Structure 1
Amino acid sequence: MELNRPDTVAEVERAFIAYERALVDNDVETMNALFWNAPETVRYGIAEVQHGGDVIRHWRETCAPVPRSRRLHRTVVTTFGADYATVSTEFTSDATHLLGRQMQTWARIGDPSDMFEGWLIVAAHVSLIETP
Structure 2
Amino acid sequence: MKIDDPMLLAEVTAAFYDYERALMADDLAALDRLFHDASTTNRYGIGETLYGIEEIRAFRARRGGSPPRLLGRVAITVYGDRFATADAEFEREGGGAPGRQTQSWVKFADGWKVVSAHVSLQGSIS
Partner of 2:36: 36
Q: 1:129 aligns with which of 111, 122, 125?
A: 122
Matched, 1:73 2:68: no
The separation in 1 between residues aligned to 2:65 and 2:54, in whole angstroms, is: 19
Task: Give the partner amino acid of 2:10.
Answer: A
Structure 1 residue 51 displacement after superposition:
0.2
TM norm structure 1: 0.89
- Give yes or no for contact 1:43–1:124 (8 Å, CA) kept in 2: yes
- Give yes or no for contact 1:97–1:130 (8 Å, CA) kept in 2: no
Structure 2 gaps of 5+ residues are none
Query: Percentage identity across aligned positions?
Result: 40
Q: Deviations over 1:92-123 (max 9, x none)?
A: 02244100000000000241xxxxxx100000
Partner of 2:25: 25
- Give yes or no for contact 2:70–2:93 (8 Å, CA) kept in 1: no
Corresponding residue SS for 1:66: coil
Say how many residue pairs are matched: 125
- Give yes or no for contact 1:71–1:91 (8 Å, CA) kept in 2: yes
- RMSD of the alignment, in Å? 1.5
The separation in 2 between residues aligned to 1:62 and 1:8, in whole angstroms, is: 34
Structure 1 gaps of 5+ residues are 112-117
Task: Give the partner amino acid of 2:103.
Answer: Q
TM norm structure 2: 0.93
- Give yes or no for contact 1:77–1:88 (8 Å, CA) kept in 2: yes
Partner of 1:115: none
The separation in 1 between residues aligned to 2:102 and 2:10, in whole angstroms, is: 18
Partner of 1:114: none
The separation in 2 between residues aligned to 1:73 and 1:62, in whole angstroms, is: 27
